[in-house]
Amino acid sequence: MTVIAQLPDVSDYEKLRKPIQDIIKFTDTIDGQYREKCFEILLGCYLAGGGSVPKTGFTVEVAKKEGFVIADMSSEMKTFLGEHNITEEILDKLFVRDRGEIHPLYKITEPKRAKAQIQIALLAAFENALKSPSEAFEFHVNLVRQRCMDIKMYDGRDFFINFMDQAGLFGSLSNYEVIKVSPIGKVELANFIMVLSKQ
């Protein structure tokens, strides 16, 4: 006697099509290096929620464990956030905390390489300062170079020249490994954070 396994109805798979497309659309807005992991987590949460987006348990738990709390930040960071009206809600839109690491949720859409590079550098410095009260508004050049490559915005020969052209945004450029953001650079950073938060 031949036993024929019954396959799930095609309509069962069709029910998953829209939620999966929505998750893909959302993860496309996130930095390339985090998209795959984000997709896995969101799909897992969707399926674990019985085919619905868990609106309480998952998001509340993430907010408790991984959200930003301004009170825990350095005095330099508190001053920066206060001066520019950057709230915890804005931070949670742009970054996620995961076991002490900061991961960007934003997407750089600037089409010009030189400008995109500066935006990436300023945001990298901001992420560094967010990590802990002891960290400064500074970035590692190699990290910025890699992020530029990841989104195909690396400017090759002009990479360091782009920093020189915007020297006012940074402290001394004599150290090519770690560069600090100047007070003018912090204003530019704050403006860009507000633009990103409205996308």
The sign of the CA dihedral 66, 81, 30, 132 is negative
- Give pairs for 83-89: CB < 8 Å, separation 24+: 83/190, 84/187, 84/190, 84/193, 84/194, 86/190, 86/193, 86/194
How far apart, in whole angstroms, are the C-alpha atoms of residue 68 and residue 90?
A: 10
Comparing 12-16, 106-110, 114-118, the range with the smallest average pLDDT is: 12-16
pLDDT(100) > 50: yes
Domain boundaries, the chain: 13-65, 67-197
Q: How confident is the model at residue 86 (pLDDT cuts 50, 70, 90)?
A: very high
**pTM for the whole thing?**
0.66
Q: Is the CB of residue 151 less than 8 Å from the CB of residue 32?
A: yes
pLDDT at 33: 59
pLDDT at 101: 79
User: Rg (Cα) of the chain, in Å, rounded?
Assistant: 21
How far apart, in whole angstroms, are the C-alpha atoms of residue 96 and residue 94?
A: 7
Average pLDDT (153-157) is 89
Average pLDDT (124-134) is 89
How far apart, in whole angstroms, are the C-alpha atoms of residue 148 and residue 155?
A: 8
How far apart, in whole angstroms, are the C-alpha atoms of residue 21 and residue 195?
A: 26
